[in-house]
Chain A
Amino acid sequence: MTTNLETARHPETLKRVCIEPLTRVEGHGKVTLLLDEDNHVKQARLHIVEFRGFEKFIQGRPYWELPVLVQRLCGICPVSHHLAAAKACDRLIGVDRLTPTAEKVRRLMHLGQVLQSHALHFFHLSSPDLLFGIDDAVAHRNIVGVIRDHPEIAMQGVLLRKFGQEVIRVTSGKRVHGTGALPGGVNKNVSLEERDLLLADIDRILDWAEKGVQLIKRIILTRPDFHYRFAAVDANTLSLVAPDGGFELYDGGLRARDPQGETIFDHADDQGYAELIHEEIKPWSYMKFPFIVALGPEQGWYRVGPLARVNNCEHFHTSLAEQERQDFAAAGEGRPLQAALATHWARMIELLHCAEAIRDLLLDPDLQGTDLRRDGRLQTTGIGVLEAPRGTLFHHYEIDPDGLVTRANLIVSTTNNNQAMNESIRRVAADDLDGHTLTEPLLNRIEVAIRAYDPCLSCATHALGKMPLELELLDADGQRVGRLVRHADGSIAL
């Protein structure tokens, strides 16, 4: 399951190629490749290069600030952190069951979040690679190219995301970084006016979500050999599932399966995650490497996110998404699909599910309920787990008797995917780059593999940043033999 490209034996004799920063991903990271004289790849690593340290600086803060404070980890999926922290705070105040209104408002907020994040990723960040091909001219292979060549697809992407953001605004007060969830509940319900505002658009949203699934299915099935092979790695999978084994984003039991789809653990209580998942630290990355304890650090790494979730669940409880899931499952011919690019397919099925589930929830009168919060007795430990757009997200806090945080552990989705992303770029390095003279389209293949996971590197290390892309090719003596610069306008200079 793992390759041998993590650490080269004699790195001092190899030349180094660095892709920094990775583009069209959220956050700041780089990839380094070590090549021998004949351009054979000997080492490939995805690095997260910055560090923010939220787990440290929230120590000493009052627990009730956590949902609002830690959501600042991210500007794309703040709702996931907001809700994971709120779920942990529910436990801290001894509440294990919310009022129906509170739970449904939170679920609605979360569905809006997943919908907008998936739309952003698929249409804005990945559609250029998928629509134009990995080797398309770089000046064309971007969102501006999509707007020019496929204006209707670009517009649908923008408006799908806008709808998701509106759902978030209605439930949390702001499109980004709101305050809806409180320990034990929420601070507002959804008024009839707000509901009707969202319902007015829902048919159009459903139509576009369905078209999105058909688009990615068509792209993948047009060249199935390539799409199933590219960056594919056999991985264990981890996700939440509903009690009946169905698809679940907000609250459920943990399910892990091996690459053949056999159960490693199932319906595990998320409060016991620390018994199931451990984290390994490697000296070359600020991002930790989680693994399933039962399998150990070498074999226990796993994949989370859309591909893991759609593989792991037995059904969707919304009809359109379930039909699409059946097509998806059939493509695996009895095994979980392990193709990195199939993640885009799974992602769009999830987006469709979110649109359907939002429609169903909006018609639920509990959203207009006024019983918003529950209270209980203060505890010392709180754990909140949910499925963020990019995968399983763990928030774990400990507090002192005064209510101040003494310890925090966050395992974010992208961290869970750390080894899987590394294995995918090693697969690309071995399959597509090995022995070739490196060009921009070849290096883009590395980025395409990473993009499939939709990593949020700022969440993962809690870093942020944006810089132009500059590649340097050094020979074994450290002398520069080639240089490639991508300017902010997309132009390339040698």
Chain B
Amino acid sequence: MSKTFKLDGREIPFETGQTIMDAALAAGVYIPHLCHNPEFAPHGSCRVCLVDIGGRQVSACTAAASEGMEVDSCSESIQETRRAILQMLFVEGNHVCPACEKSGACQLQAVAYYTGMLAPHFTHFFPRRPVDASHSDVIIDFNRCILCELCVRASRDHDGKRVFAISGRGLDSHLVIDSPSGLLGDSSFAAGDKAAHVCPTGAILPKGRGYETPIGERLYDREPISIVGDVRAHEEEVV
């Protein structure tokens, strides 16, 4: 008989070594997340998957599941913390959903809807970040980067290229590209790279395309992310 823990009152079975996130997703229970992707080592940086275990808040993607633990993932206080984290992500960048190609199929937008975030609340930073359209097949819109490092991990761990890295510290943290000019077009990046298909927002997108899926048929138009799942699971449909 496998071991179990309680997630919002529901018994979740797990194997030794599984995280709370792994076990929950395997059991079909959604915990909102952005930087987590089961194909890559847990990162724990976006903090959207915060859960409460006996008054202690931990990220579900990095915390190991243990026998008998009681995990709270959907209380109002947890959702409020998640909303505040998401609001900060929205104001740090320039997330113009009304005009974004990814709108309707964006994990950041879908998670924000899931947590009940209706407005950014905080003052927008309005950073000036130019678009890098130097590559022939892919553009990078740094305005939409949330520093989840999925592209960094995918390029390093899957593609074996290390095209991306995070430079700077704190508020100055930003995505950089390994090329003499700093431009994507001068790097070894290719449209077929795994790193081109893991972005949870609209920061890395195919070039010259957008809005091809009619409104009403986009990934999250009919059902929420808790039912539909991550963008990566539907990559072929949304690209």
Stretch from A14-22, A122-130, A174-182, A446-454 forming part of the interface with B: A174-182
Verify A187–B211 contact, CB threshold 8 A: yes
Residues of chain B contacted by A65 (CB below 8 angstroms) = 99, 101, 210
Partner of A68, one of B133, B211, B214: B211
B79-101 vs A: 1/0 string, CB under 8 Å? Answer: 00000000000000000001101
User: Closest chain B residue to A378 by CB distance?
Assistant: B208
Interface residue ranges of B194-236 to A (CB < 8 Å): 207-216
Q: How far is the CB of B193 from chain A (nearest CB, A)?
A: 19
Which chain A residues border B214 with CB–CB below 8 Å? Answer: 173, 179-180, 187-188
Q: At the interface, yes or no: A403 with Cβ under 8 Å from chain B?
A: yes
In Å, the complex CA distance between A124 and B210 comes to: 36
Q: Are B207 and A403 interface neighbours, CB within 8 A?
A: yes
Cβ contacts under 8 Å, A178 to chain B = 215
Asked if B139 is at the interface (CB within 8 A of a chain A CB), the reply is yes
- Taking a contact as CB atoms under 8 Å apart, the answer to whether A177 and B98 are in contact is yes
A416 on the B face (CB < 8 A): no
When chains A and B are docked, how far (Å) is the Cα of A265 from the Cα of B99? 38
Contact call A404/B101, Cβ cutoff below 8 A: no
Taking a contact as CB atoms closer than 8 A, the residue among B134, B208, B213 that contacts A64 in the complex is B208
Please measure, in the bound complex, the distance between the C-alpha atom of A174 and the C-alpha atom of B214, giving whole angstroms. Answer: 10
Which residues of chain A are near B133, meaning CB under 8 Å?
A: 62, 402-404
Q: A60-B130, A187-B213 are in contact. Are A403 and B208 (CB under 8 A)?
A: yes
Interface size range on B against A: 10 to 19
| Interface residue B131 (Cβ < 8 Å from any Cβ of A) | yes
CA distance A33 to B154 in the complex (A): 66
Distance in Å from the Cβ of B206 to the closest Cβ of chain A?
A: 10
- Return the CB mask of B124-159 against A: 1 if under 8 Å, else 0: 000000110110000100000000000000000000
Determine the residue in chain A with the shortest Cβ distance to B132: A402
Q: How far is the CA of A72 from the CA of B99 in the complex (A)?
A: 8
Contact residues of B: prevailing secondary structure: loop
How far apart are the CA atoms of A72 and B103 in the complex, in Å?
15
Instruction: Kindly provide the distance from the CB of A98 to the nearest chain B CB, expressed in whole angstroms.
Output: 16
A173 pairs with B209, CB closer than 8 A: no
How far is it, in angstroms, between the C-alpha of A69 and the C-alpha of B216 when the chains are bound? 19
- Given A179-B214, A182-B212, A62 and B139 contact (CB-CB distance below 8 Å): yes
- Contact yes or no, A173 B99, CB < 8 A: no
User: How long is the Cα–Cα vector from A142 to B62 in the complex, in angstroms?
Assistant: 62
Complex Cα–Cα for A180 and B210 (A)? 11
Q: Is A61 an interface residue (CB 8 A)?
A: yes
B221 to nearest A CB, angstroms? Answer: 9
Q: A173 touches which one: B101, B139, B215 (CB < 8 A)?
A: B215
Q: Name the residue among B101, B134, B214 with the largest chain A CB count within 10 angstroms.
A: B214
Q: How far is the CA of A172 from the CA of B214 in the complex (A)?
A: 7
Tell me if A62 and B99 are in contact (CB < 8 A): no
* Other-chain contact of A179, B131, B139, B208, B211 (Cβ < 8 Å): B211
CB distance from B21 to the nearest CB of A (A): 34
Is the pair A64, B215 in contact by a Cβ cutoff of 8 Å? Answer: no
The minimal Cβ–Cβ distance linking A292 to chain B, given in whole angstroms, is 34
Do A182 and B131 touch across chains, with their CB atoms under 8 A apart? no
Within 8 A of A (CB), among B168-214: 207-214
Q: Which residues of A contact B213 (CB under 8 A)?
A: 187
Inter-chain CA distance A179–B216, complex, in Å, is 11
Question: With a CB–CB cut-off of 8 A, which chain A residues contact B139?
Answer: 62, 403
Contacts of A68 in B (CB 8 A): 98-99, 210-211
A72 and B98 contacting across the interface, CB-CB below 8 Å = yes
Report if A173-B216 is in contact (Cβ < 8 Å); known contacts: A65-B99, A402-B134: yes
A187 CA to B216 CA, complexed, in Å = 12
Question: Roughly how many angstroms separate A253 CA and B86 CA in the complex, as a whole number?
Answer: 50
Q: Which residues of A contact B210 (CB under 8 A)?
A: 62, 64-65, 68, 182
Docked Cα-Cα span, A172 to B99, in Å, equals 14
A3 to B231 alpha-carbon distance, docked (Å): 62
Closest residue of chain A to B185 (Cβ to Cβ) is A402
Q: Hey, which chain B residues are within 8 Å of A179, CB to CB?
A: 211, 214-215
Q: Which residues on the A side are within 8 Å of B216 (C-beta)?
A: 173
Q: Kindly list chain B residues whose C-beta atoms are within 8 Å of the C-beta of A64.
A: 101, 208-211
Q: Give CA–CA (A222, B9) in the complex, Å.
A: 76
Question: Which residues 53-72 of A sit at the B interface, judged by CB distance below 8 A?
Answer: 60-62, 64-65, 67-69, 72
Name the interface residues of A152-194: CB closer than 8 Å to any CB of B.
172-174, 177-180, 182, 187-188
Q: Which A-B residue pairs are the 7 nearest by beta carbons?
A: A173-B215, A402-B133, A69-B99, A188-B214, A179-B211, A187-B214, A173-B214
Between A and B, 20 residue pairs with Cβ closer than 8 Å are A62-B131, A64-B101, A64-B208, A64-B209, A65-B210, A67-B211, A68-B99, A68-B210, A68-B211, A69-B99, A172-B215, A173-B214, A173-B216, A179-B211, A179-B214, A180-B214, A182-B211, A187-B213, A402-B133, A404-B131
- 15 further A-B contacts with Cβ under 8 Å, apart from A62-B207, A62-B210, A179-B215, are A62-B133, A62-B139, A62-B208, A64-B101, A65-B101, A69-B99, A172-B215, A174-B215, A179-B211, A179-B214, A182-B212, A187-B211, A402-B134, A403-B207, A404-B133
